Amino acid sequence: MKFDENKIGPHLINIITSGLYDGNLNCVREYVQNSVDAKAKNINVSFENGMNLVIEDDGTGMDLNELENALNVGISNKNEFNVGWRGIGIWSGVSVCEKIVIITKKKNSGKYRIEIDNNKIRKEINNTNSILKILENSTTDISKLSLGRDDSYLDGQFTIIRLERILRPQKDIFESENIKEYLQKVTPASFNPNEFTLGSKIENYLQQKGVAFPKVNIKLEDETIYRPPYTTEPFFEKVITKDFIVGDKLVAVGWILSSQANKGLKSPNKGIFFKKKGFTIGNENLVKNLYEGSYNEWQFGEIHVISNEIVENAARNQFELNSGLVDKLYEQVSEFIGSLDSLNRYQSSKVPSSNISNAQKYLNEGNIKSAEHEINKAHEKVTRVKNYPKDPDLGPLKKNIEKKIQTDTDTLKQLKEQIQKSKASPSKNKIKKDRLNATIDSLPDDIKKSIKRANSKGRLIPEISITDPIREMLAERVGHDDEIKELTQEAYGWKDVRINKGNRILTLGDKGNDARDARLGLLIYTFHDIIVNPTKHEKKGFEWFNSCSEEEKLDVMNEIYSTLGLMHRLIKNSKEFKSKKDHKK
């Protein structure tokens, strides 16, 4: 395609190849902006073969003359009511892919196609060729395409931008999830009505204030894109609104939601963003950093710039400081963020939600002393005298905060009543400790003495000496001392367990101990054989139990059930050694 000096603006071509954008995904924004300016109702972004990014819209499209004008570098025919106006948007994909293909059709017009070879631009940019020569060598002539079966000459209108063969260094950036998050944050997407129920109220407010917000349905891979926030759950229901007036001009309007909890919000439902014609300018730090103090992000909101005298820079990451309005707007925003910081400090000092949560946790754990400490701190907060921020726009929220304080006060009263009840009745832990001590007291004297030699804390772990009384009794019955394994072998006539090495489903350890696992299995069966079988089939073998007194029988059953519980825990906590499918019987 032929270019002349009238089609080259003051912006050098290296701007479109690298220097214009802070992040390469910004080219997606440029194409979406072009679609919005073309009055598109639907924009779909999709991947093709994992290599090509395609942006399609049903906007007005372009005829031959308009397509030629769209290729102007740094010159724009757009007026102040359009979003993109610098004449660089169509070239913005040069730095991210090998080729840009544009296919477009306007009503009552033909369908046209042009290609831009970005590899040639990159190759020739460092040569001595003129800018005109570089553009001519890298851009095909505009070709007229035949209308397809679904194309209508009279009514058909669309534009398709194809970024073909995304460059390797850009592939990690141009992943679907990254593009989705970017579109959500940056484009004029609507709120999700099913998740963010305050959305319609906010949109009505913006419309009343004359905010130019495009009505457009944006999709990524046929999934509708919504902008944050995505829930109302963390916020007070009251929407804070703010007018930013410089002199007698309304230059921006804002809406803010404030967190009910005394803590910062989590992304993506946090931050205050500048917007212009629906598109985000910069990120949350652009607003946050205007305030010199320490502001914790307990709010989410948008500040929509409506003055045409306040203009964003080419990278869309801030506003150009060529208008006195910008400085004055920034001063007002900074002051407002300071008021929000004061609001957060007021809420933090008056609303005891975190103390109540801690008190409930301690109460559930039976830690009455710590629960009382948190309740006392909560009581100090709700009774503390603290001045509410002076900003009149924050006044309507005070009722919501007072309602929250009253709710917390009622909860405090309930917690105090629970504590009184807990003090009047023993805790679950105390009941279990009493039961443990009762079990220990019911054991034979020599075992009981051995256990009680340990302190109360030691009773909660099996000490190395826990089986000493058993070994001592075996030594007395056998007639000499030895290790417990040898004593049991001699006393009961066993040599060893036949071990089927490596062929088992469960193990007590990560790597497994063949002998120990086999003995555990034998122990479990032995318990069954000693306790269950005699009671059913060999009653003589259980005569010793039948001769016990009722009190002794209670002790024995307590011991049996405790042993049963121990074996159940050992089986439950055994790890898989070999899958059931691979096990050989």
Residue 73 has a pLDDT of 62
- Quick one: pLDDT band at residue 536, thresholds 50, 70, 90? low
What lies within 8 Å, CB to CB, of 307 at 6+ separation is: 249, 250, 251, 252, 325
The answer on pLDDT for 89 being more than 80 is no
Residue 377 has a pLDDT of 94
The answer on pLDDT for 75 being more than 60 is no
Q: Note the pLDDT tens digit of each residue in 147-183.
A: 988 888 888 999 999 999 999 989 999 999 999 999 9
The answer on pLDDT for 443 being more than 60 is yes
Residue 134 has a pLDDT of 83
Q: How many CB atoms lie within 10 A of CB 321?
A: 10
The answer on pLDDT for 102 being more than 60 is yes
Contact indicator for 225, 267 with CB cutoff of 8 Å? no
Residue (of 399, 397, 406) closest to 301 by Cα position: 397
C-alpha to C-alpha distances, 442 to 46, 224, 449, 545, nearest whole angstrom: 74, 69, 11, 16
Strands 271-276 and 299-305: parallel
The answer on pLDDT for 328 being more than 90 is yes
Give the residue, 168 or 513, on which the prediction is more confident.
Answer: 168
Residue 325 has a pLDDT of 93
Q: Could you tell me the pTM of the whole model? A: 0.70
Residue 270 has a pLDDT of 95
Which of 133-142, 336-345, 360-369, 558-567 is least confident? Answer: 558-567
Segment of 295-309, 460-474, 491-505 carrying the highest mean pLDDT: 295-309
Residue 22 has a pLDDT of 52
Residue 122 has a pLDDT of 84
What's the CA gap between 579 and 166, in Å, rounded?
46
The answer on pLDDT for 14 being more than 60 is no
Strands 158-166 and 506-507: unpaired
Q: How many CB atoms lie within 10 A of CB 274?
A: 25
Helix (H, G, I), strand (E, B) or coil at 139: strand
Contact indicator for 451, 466 with CB cutoff of 8 Å? yes
Which of 236-245, 388-397, 478-487, 554-563 is least confident? Answer: 554-563
Residue 319 has a pLDDT of 94
Mean pLDDT of 39-57: 95
What's the CA gap between 449 and 446, in Å, rounded?
5
**What is 39-89 written as a DSSP string?**
T-SEEEEEEETTTEEEEEE-S----HHHHHHHT-BS-----TTSS--SS-G
Token output for 350: 């008056």
The answer on pLDDT for 410 being more than 80 is yes
The answer on pLDDT for 76 being more than 60 is no
Q: Positive or negative, the Cα torsion across 509, 512, 513, 516?
A: positive
The answer on pLDDT for 450 being more than 70 is yes
Residue (of 412, 358, 354, 361) closest to 383 by Cα position: 412
Residue (of 240, 252, 227) closest to 319 by Cα position: 252
The answer on pLDDT for 52 being more than 50 is yes
Element (H, E) at 224: strand 223-224
Residue 528 has a pLDDT of 74
Question: For the chain, which domains are there?
Answer: 5-174 (3.30.565.10), 199-213+224-349 (3.30.230), 351-418 (no CATH), 457-576 (no CATH)
What's the CA gap between 353 and 365, in Å, rounded?
19
What lies within 8 Å, CB to CB, of 529 at 6+ separation is: none
What lies within 8 Å, CB to CB, of 473 at 6+ separation is: 446
The answer on pLDDT for 241 being more than 80 is yes
Element (H, E) at 531: helix 514-536
Task: Give the mean pLDDT of the chain.
Answer: 84
Give the residue, 507 or 52, on which the prediction is more confident.
Answer: 52
Residue 464 has a pLDDT of 61
What lies within 8 Å, CB to CB, of 500 at 6+ separation is: 518
Q: Can you tell me which residue has the tokens 């929407």?
A: 239
Contact indicator for 301, 191 with CB cutoff of 8 Å? no
What's the CA gap between 560 and 542, in Å, rounded?
14
Q: Any long-range contacts for 415-423 (C-beta under 8 Å, 24+ apart)?
A: 415/356, 415/359, 415/360, 415/363, 415/371, 415/375, 416/375, 418/363, 419/363, 419/368, 419/371, 419/372, 419/375, 422/363, 422/366, 422/368, 423/368
Residue 456 has a pLDDT of 52
The answer on pLDDT for 567 being more than 90 is no
Residue 517 has a pLDDT of 80
- Quick one: pLDDT band at residue 191, thresholds 50, 70, 90? very high
